[in-house]
Amino acid sequence: MRKRKIYVAAAALAAATVIAGSVGITHAGTGLRATPVTATVTIPGTDEVWAPPPANAAAAPSLLTADQAWAKFSAAQGDTSVPPGTSVQLGVITQSVGPWCGKECANLQNINGTAYAAYNQLAYGYYWRACTVSQAELDCQHWFFLDAKTGELITGVLPRLTTTSSGG
């Protein structure tokens, strides 16, 4: 199985997460509403683990709303609109980078010899389908995880949109 390209730090506006088919966002007068993740899953095509948040996470006074996190993230891109069909959940994201890698991993968490870009970090996960044509679901998924306290991008996955080429 080929892995999808993962973006850490600042990526182009594209938001995402929430496992397809799960209960997610409600577009109401106030905007995005997140539901908690209910099961631990590995996001298809990646090594990222998305898990339920701590029981009291949603009540934390320092927690942004899903709307506030999205607004902080997207403001830097100059477009705060939410893509149609976006879903959002609150959970914890873990993204391992691999075995500890020395200087290249100096700014990452090192837990028992494994480097992590994110380790059980409370996040809002935004997801939407990116394709307008009939393509495999895995190839069309936008996923973005934003820190639930700061709205900063933790990680994201863009779709594996492919083009066909002649000759080759």
List the beta strands (DSSP E) in 21-138. 35-36, 41-42, 49-51, 87-99, 109-111, 114-129
Residue 129 is predicted with a pLDDT of 76
pTM here is 0.72
Lowest mean pLDDT among 21-25, 36-40, 108-112, 144-148: 21-25
Positive or negative: CA dihedral 14, 16, 50, 20: negative
pLDDT score at 142? 80
Query: Is residue 53 packed enough to be buried (19+ CB in 10 Å), middle (13-18) or exposed (0-12)?
Result: buried
Note the pLDDT of residue 45: 73
Q: Is the pLDDT of residue 137 over 70?
A: no
Q: How many angstroms separate the Cα of 45 from the Cα of each of 13, 14, 94, 139, 143?
A: 20, 17, 15, 9, 11
Instruction: Dig out the tokens for 164 from the structure.
Output: 């066909």
Q: Are the C-beta atoms of residues 96 and 80 closer than 8 Å to each other? A: no
Q: Which residue has the higher pLDDT, 54 or 160?
A: 54
Q: Which residue has the higher pLDDT, 24 or 41?
A: 41
Q: Is the pLDDT of residue 28 over 80?
A: no
pLDDT at residue 13 tops 60: no
Q: 87-99 and 35-36: which strand pairing?
A: parallel
